[in-house]
Structure 1
Amino acid sequence: MGQLLSNRGGVGGSNSSPASNESSSGFGTAQNAQNHLYRPSFLWQIFKHRRARGLRATVKNRNSIENFPDLYLLPPEIGLEVLKNLNATDLCLAACVWSDLANDEVLWEGLCMNSWGHCSAYKTWKEEGKSFKKLYLLLDEGCLTFNAEPMWGLQYLTRNGVLNTEPSEIALFFNSTNQLCWQKVRQYLNINPDVLDELIKLQSFKNQFLPNALRKFFQAVDSPISQGEYLHLLLDKFAVRFCNDNPGLSLVPEIVCILCYSLILLSVDLTSPQVKNKMSKREFVRNIRSALGEYRRNELHDAPGNNQVHAIPPEMAARLQAVAAVDSDFAGHLYDNIYLVGHVAPQRWRDDA
């Protein structure tokens, strides 16, 4: 790791080095140094001069490079700054040369926190004097097992004291890592609604535009690849949380669900290469108004004494007011967001994690 020499280049690949070495090398004026720049003997004399000054330059031939300084010769803080840029595999290889530095707990704790933002062991692992390198290996093995079979992976983590069994702890673990296969996470959440509820509690959609809030939701809870009961469950839970976080919008969960379905269909239509005839804004607004009109007619049809306005229950009156709140301008803004920003349900976890 040093600076490559060539018969046609300057020191360190920069044409400014002859001028900077002019006074220290004793090669005369700047013009003379420039005349000597392209001579092989000039570069050789520079390195002889630097070695004589104790810069530890080892030169085997004119095209060799300087040896990288031994990390043990650097202050520990600088050595750790170099090694913290390595991943776990490279850090294990570095431990073959710099055992004390590469096995430092600070490095392995940072690797754990970067890959898994939360696990139950963080609370007591350091106090008990346990190795963070061992913790990293346990977390890595647990995630690999989870990606094969979710229940086995969580049993491995809980059995080794890495993760507690409380739904809130599991939700925090899911919410802070990208080392899990999104299909397996979805599979686990589908059969563990208590963990799904805790995961949704960790999200906040206050003062967010509906499409942006839906994107944030699907970044935490991956969307299924097809419509079904699980998608209905996700949207129902999202709608309730969105309305609770934004009471000033005069929306109700039923209306939010209708809008979310429309946004998902629009996202697929605009982003799918198989769809040649893309939906226009006018068509989208018309579809929204049509769906809300049908919802309003059903509400009025089911209302007791539908000829008497005062007989409509307050909950139904709120739903009817929410229908009126979604006008054509609001629907047009929804379309513009999808058109400019993109899909509302991007996949967060890698399938090949």
Structure 2
Amino acid sequence: MVNGLLKTAQGVPPGVSTTLLPHQDATMKLEAMKCLVDILKSMGDWMNKQLRIPDPHSPKKSEAGDNNSEPGSLLLVNGNTDEPMEASDTFSEPFSDVSDVSAIEQRRAYKLELQEGISLFNRRPKKGIEFLINANKVGNSPKDIAAFLKNASGLNKTLIGDYLGEREELSLKVMHAYVDSFDFQGMEFDEAIRAFLLGFRLSGEAQKIDRIMEKFAERYFKCNPKAFTSADTAYKLAFSVILLNTDAHNPMVKNKMSAADFIRNNHGIDDGKDLADEYLRSLFERISRNEIKMNEDDLAVQRKMSVNSNRILGVDSILNIVIRKRGEENTESSDDLMRHMQEQFKEKAHKSE
């Protein structure tokens, strides 16, 4: 069908006889061109849905229409600027259609190259970012890269977290720009974590989780300086919240943590002082009712890549980080927060086997 339309749009080859009159031939070519343009538009729309990529180049049909009303844009009759010649419709539509075809082709080329970069990122994140920068699909500043990781569709959320946790200079700057792009002012602590972890998965590596969550805590405290005594409190509470989320919503854990357990486990984390019981109880209830997770579409894809939900959240790594952190501070307590939580979690996991 497309080949037939293409031949019709090209017209009768020179030297070949035809029964069509000139105006009939022109009409046939015009209609064939319109059909080809409609096919290309449909293919472009289909690609948009398949690639799920923001479109940076949208055809400006309204502007084209406005330009046609300007002096010199149409052939006029006897200097009358209000009435175009009859032939103008015949000539302007093919030109507009050709312009549409060119725009669609440019969009297609852009999206294919962008998709190639995304596909490479999903295999080798650093190489993918390098490719996208060289192809002028992403700016080379940390803010530009962070915005791309935060907003682009089709990126593997686990690999985003992996990239953000790297210690190389560029990745570290990108991670800082990514976290600083969030405004946590006035947000409840669990609401902030929920918004933060919506776009990526924490890596399973302890050091990567440590870097990301330490920066999150710093950002939350900067946005809410009266919430805690220091950013370190937010850092410790963040891991406690993530562990509670796993405990409450992991079906493998049969004996769930109670509100009293959660309050007791967080004893003394605010630079030796206790957070208000009511604050912790409210936090416990909200997380127990509403799991912290990614978007449903992303979650379905990521589950295929994960063996179990413990590994997804890197629970063992999280526990080791916080225990090490508290050990470095030489904070001795009979009710050491994370040591107690580690023993409790392992005991529950063992009972559920």
TM bin, normalised by shorter chain, reads 0.5 to 0.7
Counterpart among 194, 199, 210 of residue 173 in structure 2:
194
Q: Distance in 2 between matches of 1:125 and 1:245?
A: 41
Q: 2:283 aligns with which of 323, 326, 334?
A: 334
Structure 1 residues 314-341: Cα deviation after superposition (integer angstroms, max 9, x where no partner):
xxxxxxxxx35x2111110111011111
User: What is the match of residue 216 of structure 1?
Assistant: 195
* Residues 198 and 293, structure 2, Cα contact 8 Å, conserved in 1: no
5+ residue gaps in structure 1?
1-96, 297-322
- Verify: 1:140 aligned to 2:77, yes or no: no
Contact 2:203–2:209 (CA<8 Å) still a contact in 1?
A: yes
The 5-angstrom pairing of residues 125-164 of structure 1 reads: 131-164=106-139
Q: How far did 1:136 drift? A: 1.2
Equivalent residue runs for 1:299-318 within 5 Å = none
Match of 1:292 in 2: 269
Residues 237 and 269 of structure 2 are in contact (CA less than 8 Å); yes or no, is this contact kept in structure 1? no
8 A Cα contact 1:112 1:132, kept in partner: no
Hey, what's the Cα distance between the residues in 2 that align with 1:163 and 1:124? 18
Aligned equivalents of 2:221 and 2:149: distance in 1?
24
Q: Is the 8 A contact 1:285 1:331 kept in 2?
A: yes
Aligned twin of 2:96: none
1:267-314, CA deviations, whole angstroms, 9 ceiling, x for partnerless residues? 11111111111111111111112x438x51xxxxxxxxxxxxxxxxxx
| 2:168 matches 1:182 | no
Structure 2 distance, partners of 1:259, 1:156, is: 38
Task: Establish whether residue 101 from structure 1 lines up as the match of residue 38 from structure 2.
Answer: yes
CA distance in 2, matches of 1:208, 1:179: 28
**Do the aligned residues in 2 keep the contact of 1:219 with 1:346 (CA within 8 Å)?**
yes
- Aligned mates of 1:104, 1:173 — CA distance in 2: 27
Given that residues 211 and 344 in structure 1 are in contact (C-alpha distance below 8 angstroms), is that contact kept between their aligned partners in structure 2?
A: no
Maintained 8 Å contact 1:267/1:344: no
Could you tell me how far apart the structure 2 residues matched to 1:331 and 1:124 are?
49
* 1:168 Cα deviation from its structure 2 partner: 1.3
Structural mapping, 1:1-353, within 5 Å? 98-104=35-41, 111=48, 115-117=52-54, 122=56, 131-191=106-166, 192-225=171-204, 228-289=206-267, 291-292=268-269, 295-296=271-272, 323-324=273-274, 326-343=275-292, 348=298, 350-351=301-302
Check 1:144–1:332 CA distance in 2 against 1; reply closer, same or farther (3 A cut). Answer: same
1:220 counterpart SS class: coil
8 Å CA contact 2:198–2:294 kept in 1: the answer is yes
Cα RMSD of the aligned pairs, angstroms, is 3.5
The CA deviation string for residues 16-43 of structure 1, in whole angstroms up to 9 with x for no partner, is: xxxxxxxxxxxxxxxxxxxxxxxxxxxx
- The CA deviation at 1:124 is 11
Q: Displacement, 1:190?
A: 2.4
Q: Corresponding residue for 1:4?
A: none
1:264 positional shift: 1.1
Distance change in 2, residues 1:109/1:203 (3 Å): farther
- 1:64 — aligned with what? none
TM-score, normalised via structure 2 length: 0.55
Residue aligning to 1:317: none
SS of residue matched to 2:161: helix
1:339–1:168 Cα change, 3 Å: same
**Cα contact 1:267–1:342 (8 A) shared by 2:** yes
Distance 1:248 1:109, change over 3 A: farther
Name the larger-Rg structure: 1
Identity of aligned residues (%): 21
